[in-house]
Amino acid sequence: MSFLLLFKDELNGFYKSKVMTFLWIGLPLMTVLLHLWSPNTGEEIPFTLLSTLLVSSIGGTLAAVMLTVSIVHEKTRHVYDLFLVRPLKRWHIVISKFFAVYTCIAIASILTLMLGVVIDYLLMGGAPEAILNDAIQSLAISLSMMAVSSSVGVLIGVISPSVLVGAILVIYGGNQISVIPMLPNMLNISNPVPFTLILGVLISCVLLLIAVFLFSKKQF
Amino acid sequence: MSDSKERNGFVVFEGVSKRYKSLLALNNVSFKIKEGEIFGYIGPNGAGKTTTIKIMVGLLRSTQGTLHIGGHQMPDEKNEVHKLLGYLPQNVAFQEWRTVDHALRTFGKLSGVKKNEIENRIEEVLELVALPNVRHQKIVELSSGMTQKLGLAQSLLHNPKLLVLDEPLAGLDPESRYQVKQIIKELGKSGTTVFFSSHILSDVQDVATKIGILNRGCIMQIGTLDELKSGFPIKNDVTVVLSHDSGQWREVESLKGVTGVEQPARNSLLVHLDSETDIDETIHNLIQSLMNLDCRIRSLTPASPTLDEVYLQYVRRGENA
């Protein structure tokens, strides 16, 4: 009950503080701008490919930074005090935040990819099938990388003493750890996507468990 | 409430200590608060007031000792205690995007207020803290005093049995201070146990039915204001109010048992008596002498120490120990 309430509350917060607008409009808009301003190499880069590249390169970092900054900021301002003196489980606070950010960033990624497909369809009468397949695979990989990045964001948010330290740590560490789910793609496996997804879920769960443990032991 | 709980107190601290690395913030603190009592907790900056409060509400863990609230042990039965508890922190903070209505709705639901009751409760608590017209305003747009009152409102949403307020009157204008004091008094009358800390001693004196003085992490004294005053014989002074002052009152200084005379205000004398001599005889002689000096006496009362004086004496005693 409290978990669902906190999850809706976080989403409401992202809506009211315009975070959703910046993500859901900003990320697809960036793809368009990048496409318009990319240097002319004589070969047109399909929109679908460009949007996939953008989502996989900055989606995870955005999610991780959002989570770290939000948790450290609320922790240092003692916003959590009013939540922690109520009959709810401490892990609900952290995990509801994780899911709210992950939902927002996943929707933004899917919107960006869909925009790429639509534009390619309008310009070329459809994106090449190979690119479309690659894009769907890339999205699956991106989503699992984003889950890992978000978990790193939560963990660093819980342990970091200040917003600045948190942001530095998450940009250094978040990106490095989030590439681990990519490893099956570098091995000679015919279909690495399921392994990537499993690895992403496992690493995220471990990181979140550590974050929840530390948050529940934390004194405010 | 069971008899045993009544006998032991609603809030029971037993030998509670808290250490932050090398600093002993609370040292073997023990006290009991009965149900319906308004407990004023006073002490200088850094005495350990906020640490005590944070241990009470479960934000900090004590290093040693036990704490029971409403018969439940903290922190093991934290969830049970949190159902009974309303808390206003010293610097109450809300997320920037929240409106007053949204914050109260969320905290009300998290405290277990039923969906069909939440609307009425929000209206009631906003009315109670005199904030009826800000319901749809963003909290960041409120003044610090209004935010403090909103903090009080969120702590009252679920009609808590125990209200813990950390400096609830800090930053409020005189009218708001009066309102909040009235709210605390009314809650006490309705059976809510209130624990509040304050630097403003006159406010504690106005509201508290029991007072605890804390210094350097140690409880110096606990009791009603009268008990604190009587337990600490500060001085043997009498205040004499004159209806006619002949100007010759200085001569009473030569009386046996009188150690000095001051005139703190027009037509008012503060006479210091020697506690070693017979006070009754000295006062008798004092009255006669003043009348002989053509001073007319309107009243004569033993000077009672104020809470400020009692507080300072206890704090100094703690520092000299």
Q: Does A17 touch chain B (CB under 8 A)?
A: yes
Q: Does B154 touch chain A (CB under 8 A)?
A: yes
Cβ–Cβ gap B87/A85 under 8 Å: yes
Closest approach of A52 to chain B, Cα-based (Å): 32
Q: How many CB pairs under 8 A join A and B?
A: 61
How many angstroms separate the Cα of B54 from the Cα of each of A114, A153, B164, B263? 50, 28, 10, 46
What are the residue ranges spanned by the domains of chain B?
A: 3-230, 237-304
Burial of B174 (0-12, 13-18, 19+ CB in 10 A): exposed
Sign of CA dihedral B122, B128, B129, B133: positive
Residue B141 CB coordination number (10 Å): 11
**SS3 (DSSP) at B268:** strand
- Most B CBs within 10 Å: which of A10, A71, A86, as the mutation test of the B interface? A86
Whether B43 contacts B49, CB under 8 Å: yes
Class assignment of domain B3-230? alpha beta
Q: Which candidate from A2, A74, A219 shows the least CB-CB separation from B95?
A: A74
- Tens-digit pLDDT string for chain A (220 aa): 789 999 999 999 888 888 888 888 888 888 888 877 766 666 667 777 778 777 877 888 888 999 999 999 999 999 999 999 999 999 999 999 999 999 998 998 888 888 888 888 887 776 667 777 777 777 888 889 899 999 999 999 999 999 999 999 998 888 788 888 888 878 878 888 888 899 999 999 999 999 999 999 999 9
- pTM surpassing 0.90? no
Q: Which candidate from A5, A13, A88 shows the least CB-CB separation from B95?
A: A13
The closest of B310, B216, B254, B263 to B26, measured between CA atoms, is B216
Residues 90-109 of B with CB under 8 A from A: 91-98, 102, 106-107, 109
pLDDT attached to residue A81: 96
Q: Does A13 touch chain B (CB under 8 A)?
A: yes
Q: Does A79 touch chain B (CB under 8 A)?
A: yes
pLDDT digits (tens, 9 = 90+) for B88-134: 999 999 999 999 999 999 999 999 999 999 999 999 999 999 998 89
Query: Which has more confidence, B231 or B171?
Result: B171
Closest approach of B113 to chain A, Cα-based (Å): 12
Tell me which chain A residues have a C-beta less than 8 angstroms from the C-beta of B61.
219
Tell me which chain B residues have a C-beta less than 8 angstroms from the C-beta of A88.
110
Q: In sequence order, what are the beta bridge partners of B299? A: B241
Tell me which chain A residues have a C-beta less than 8 angstroms from the C-beta of B112.
87
Closest approach of B84 to chain A, Cα-based (Å): 9
Q: Which helix (H) or strand (E) holds B239?
A: strand B237-244
Strand order in the sheet with B38-42: B85-88, B162-166, B193-197, B38-42, B210-215, B218-223
Closest approach of B58 to chain A, Cα-based (Å): 7
Residues 4-63 of B with CB under 8 A from A: 54, 57-61
Class assignment of domain B237-304? alpha beta
pLDDT attached to residue B2: 46
Tell me which chain A residues have a C-beta less than 8 angstroms from the C-beta of B80.
87
pLDDT digits (tens, 9 = 90+) for B194-242: 999 987 888 888 899 999 999 989 998 899 888 887 766 656 788 899 9
What is the chain A residue with the closest CA to B157? A86
- Most A CBs within 10 Å: which of B57, B72, B97, as the mutation test of the A interface? B97
Q: In sequence order, what are the beta bridge partners of B20? A: B23
Q: Is the pLDDT of residue B1 over 50?
A: no
Q: Which candidate from B79, B93, B154 shows the least CB-CB separation from A77?
A: B93
pLDDT attached to residue A176: 84
pLDDT digits (tens, 9 = 90+) for B258-274: 999 999 888 899 998 88
Q: Which candidate from A6, A77, A82 shows the least CB-CB separation from B154?
A: A82
Report CA dihedral (A183, A186, A189, A193) to the nearest 10 degrees. 50
Residue type (1 letter), B4: S
Tell me which chain A residues have a C-beta less than 8 angstroms from the C-beta of B91.
78
